[in-house]
Structure 1
Amino acid sequence: MPSDRGAINVTRSRPTHAMNEFARFLRTETVGGMVLLAATAVALVWANSPLSDLYTTIRDFHVGPAALHLDLSLAEWAKNGLLAIFFFVAGLELKRELVVGELSNFRSALLPVAGAAGGMVIPAALALAVSWGAPGATTAWAIPVATDIAFALGVLAITGSGMPSSARIFLLSLAVVDDLGAILIIAIVFPAGFSPIPFVAAIALCVLYAYLQKRRITTPFLYVPLALGTWVAVELSGVHATIAGVALGLLTRVRRDPYEKEAPAVRLEHRLQPWSAGFAVPVFAFFAAGVPVNGEALREIAVDRVAIAVMVGLVLGKLIGIFGTSLVAVKLKLASKPDDMAWRDMAAVAMLGGVGFTVSLLIAELSLADAAAERAKAAVLLASALASLLAAAMLIRRSRVHRVNNNEG
């Protein structure tokens, strides 16, 4: 269970505190999902209104020190800068899960790991098959591999209140592994003009960060400049700057010492997660989601094989990949399914995996250019909306079943 296990050493005590931490995480991500939805709606309405030129002007306004090659547009600052905070929090959560959480237990980890693997491979394969031969197909296959945890948890919280807690735990664990896969794809597939010297500098700064963690240094007067320096070095190296956030998150200590109330990873997550879910991701969405969705744009999407591939990958690929791989893993006795979670519950959660959004929008911007990227982003929005509606219908039905069963019991 994704909980405050960073405050637990060998024994897994204090279960009430652990459940409170898990509930806090869900509340933060759920509220963040609502803010994200609002930011997306504002961007879509504005970008398709008579004031669309103003939206474009704001989005493309450049600011930053040109001498450091950081004269970026506001959209690029949101994509490269603010999303680094989101990925730092994802790195913290991933490290905590791998060391002391659900993913640290081999058998418990296998089900969400298998589901996440299938939920990345099958959508990518379907997207590549549908778009094969079309311009951009060789990179656009990566767009539907990601699941947006904030949006997915928001839909689950609103429509799946009667679902067992194991469904939420499975979705969150799956999303953590999914984030790792998306991070690796971004780092490997989308480097832009790789420069070795800044990259070596970034590695050296990461080593220094790890050393300070090992020496139990806690002052922000060292870590904040170090984190900024790492981000600048990664940005200048050509590797996507969000990787800096992931790297530092994975290097943060997750086990507390006896004299500490909380481990550094838990403490940082408490402080940064509200900013990530409530500000960084919605601002990125505001600048990324402002795409045309008028009749002409929809007609263009309908004949664009890459856009169609993105939608097929997210809506069908995620469902087939997550559910199918999980089913195979359990049938082969490689993993165990929670007793209170039926296969129809699993199908509803798998459908939620089709909510691609944040990272899918990012990969669309990295893999395509100009009009093709706009159509792909519109496809991500449409597919995420469709997956949300289908998942909501399934979750409402399953929640009613669980409530009836609980009342009869």
Structure 2
Amino acid sequence: MTSPSAPPPGTPRERGATGSLFGRGSWLEAQRITAALRKETVGGALLLLGTVVALIWANSPWSEAYAGLRDTVVGPRALHLDLTLGQWAADGLLAIFFFIAGLELKREFVAGDLRDVRRAVVPVFAAIGGMALPAVLFTVVNLTSGGDALRGWAVPTATDIAFAVAVLAVIGSHLPTALRTFLLTLAVVDDLLAITIIAVFYTSGLALLPLAGALGVVAVFGVLVQRRIRSWWLLVPLAVIAWALMHASGIHATVAGVLLGFTVPVLRSRAAGGPEAGPGMAEHFEHRWRPISAGFAVPVFAFFSAGVTVGGLSGLVTSLEDRVALGIVVALVVGKTLGILGATALVSRFTRARLDESLSWWDVLGASLLGGIGFTVSLLIGELAFGAGSERDDHVKVGVLLGSLTAAVLAAVVLRLRNRTYRRLHEEEQRDDDGDGVPDVYGGPTQEPSGSA
């Protein structure tokens, strides 16, 4: 598959130019993306482990023990925080995950390659296409379903980057840096849109006083971190109070994690030597909290959320008879792929951007299929839409698991076929003939932007 608008063979073109789709970007950004993907790979493996354990336990003779553990209520009733363990995982632990997402979002748009609008346009439009088309397909499939089926329109819109990167690790692909960057930044923008959907469409009974209190505490947290205060005994209690007030406001409590992440400065202050002197507070917090998010919070959420009793092949067929589950499978596999691929093709068609010479549209297809792996946020939206533990929520889980598995298998097939090309590109990217410590394809060291955002 080649670009219909690509220049004829032999036409000179600068590798990684701004006008190319999936251009190489800067060396510093490539290093950061590579490090982030390694961490996501470990997180994805733990996420997969938590999911498998939950599925096995929920479909074993001891399934009642699993349900009893998940539904155990703990927490102070006086503060309306008497939640089940499953709710604590979804509302509490995922706030850590969304805090990291907030840090990543700000990092990308302040100091990453996405601070350049021309580079940002591709993953932004791809993420929008990858969320809009699945929502449309789900709605079309469920137009005549009746009841509350249409409340699940947002379930198949999210991409789980940890699972997607774990698939890459399993198949042993040498995916080019530019495409890996695209996949990660696409997922970051995807997270922002998913957070917005949760805050706008899945909020009921808004209480203004607790909301105002939560925003006030977030503002205090922001003032402290802008002053470069890192004292955990001060910041952590403030974050917990902001989370509790957001929970009481009716807005999903994980939104507090995102807002707190947005307040953290990305670049070092000039007084501390500027960005050249080392990482800013956002990187410091991400380094401290990402292992907790990827190694504990998200796998525990998966353990409590993925445990659906399928009931064998007959149970799987019964679940898919509900158009909600069928719509999710179609939206994840077809909608996500065509949405991401189609939006990218439109950018190529109607702008001067052209696919980078090191890539083909088969690579974009593989990345688009990976975008159909939805899990963490999809399961969360399913619980918000239909109620945790409800029959339809169980069908949502079946749809998410089956759709994600199908997308992963198809992506693995496409990327395996490209594996030899990926390996050749990877070896070429690592060449450093001039010995300056930076691969030759980047043209030399690149400085980070100055400032203290």
TM-score normalised by the chain length of structure 1: 0.93
Aligned with residue 388 of structure 1, among 396, 408, 420? 408
Aligned with residue 305 of structure 1, among 311, 315, 323? 323
8 Å contact kept, 2:142–2:327: yes
8 Å contact kept, 2:243–2:253: yes
Equivalent position of 1:101 in the other structure: 112
Equivalent position of 1:317 in the other structure: 335
8 Å contact kept, 1:292–1:378: no
Aligned with residue 347 of structure 2, among 329, 335, 338? 329
1:163 Cα deviation after fit: 2.1
CA distance in 1, matches of 2:119, 2:169: 23
1:372 Cα deviation after fit: 0.4
CA distance in 1, matches of 2:415, 2:165: 12
User: Which of the pair is proportionally richer in helix?
Assistant: 1
Change (3 A) 1:406 1:46: closer
CA distance in 2, matches of 1:338, 1:124: 30
SS at match of 1:97: helix
Change (3 A) 1:234 1:340: same
1:233 Cα deviation after fit: 0.4
- 2:321 maps to 1:268: no
Change (3 A) 1:266 1:399: same
Deviations 1:97-149 (A, max 9, x none): 01111221111111111110100000000000111132223211100000001
1:52 Cα deviation after fit: 0.1
SS at match of 2:418: helix
- 2:67 maps to 1:56: yes
8 Å contact kept, 1:111–1:336: no
Unpaired runs of at least 5, structure 1: 1-11
8 Å contact kept, 2:329–2:399: yes
1:265 Cα deviation after fit: 0.4
CA distance in 2, matches of 1:406, 1:55: 45
Equivalent position of 1:136 in the other structure: 148
8 Å contact kept, 1:357–1:384: yes
Change (3 A) 1:337 1:212: farther
8 Å contact kept, 1:116–1:174: yes
CA distance in 2, matches of 1:111, 1:173: 10
1:194 Cα deviation after fit: 1.6
CA distance in 1, matches of 2:125, 2:217: 34
CA distance in 2, matches of 1:35, 1:385: 16
Equivalent position of 1:29 in the other structure: 40
The structure with more radius of gyration: 2
| 2:362 alignment partner AA | R
Change (3 A) 1:106 1:387: same
- 2:50 maps to 1:39: yes
CA distance in 1, matches of 2:55, 2:323: 23
- 2:294 maps to 1:277: yes
1:218 Cα deviation after fit: 2.6
Aligned with residue 258 of structure 2, among 227, 246, 252? 246
| 1:192 alignment partner AA | S
Change (3 A) 1:336 1:91: farther
Change (3 A) 1:208 1:408: closer
Change (3 A) 1:31 1:362: same
TM-score normalised by the chain length of structure 2: 0.84
Change (3 A) 1:365 1:406: closer
SS at match of 1:144: helix
8 Å contact kept, 1:206–1:248: yes
CA distance in 1, matches of 2:427, 2:45: 31
CA RMSD of aligned residues (A): 1.9
Unpaired runs of at least 5, structure 2: 1-24, 430-453
- 2:173 maps to 1:153: no
1:368 Cα deviation after fit: 1.1
CA distance in 1, matches of 2:313, 2:171: 31
8 Å contact kept, 1:291–1:377: yes
SS at match of 2:186: helix
- 2:195 maps to 1:183: yes
Equivalent position of 1:162 in the other structure: 174
- 2:395 maps to 1:375: yes
SS at match of 1:253: coil
8 Å contact kept, 2:33–2:184: no
SS at match of 2:144: coil
CA distance in 2, matches of 1:406, 1:94: 27
1:408 Cα deviation after fit: 11
Equivalent position of 1:4 in the other structure: none
8 Å contact kept, 1:160–1:392: no
8 Å contact kept, 1:48–1:291: yes
Equivalent position of 2:125 in the other structure: 114
Equivalences, count? 396
Equivalent position of 1:8 in the other structure: none
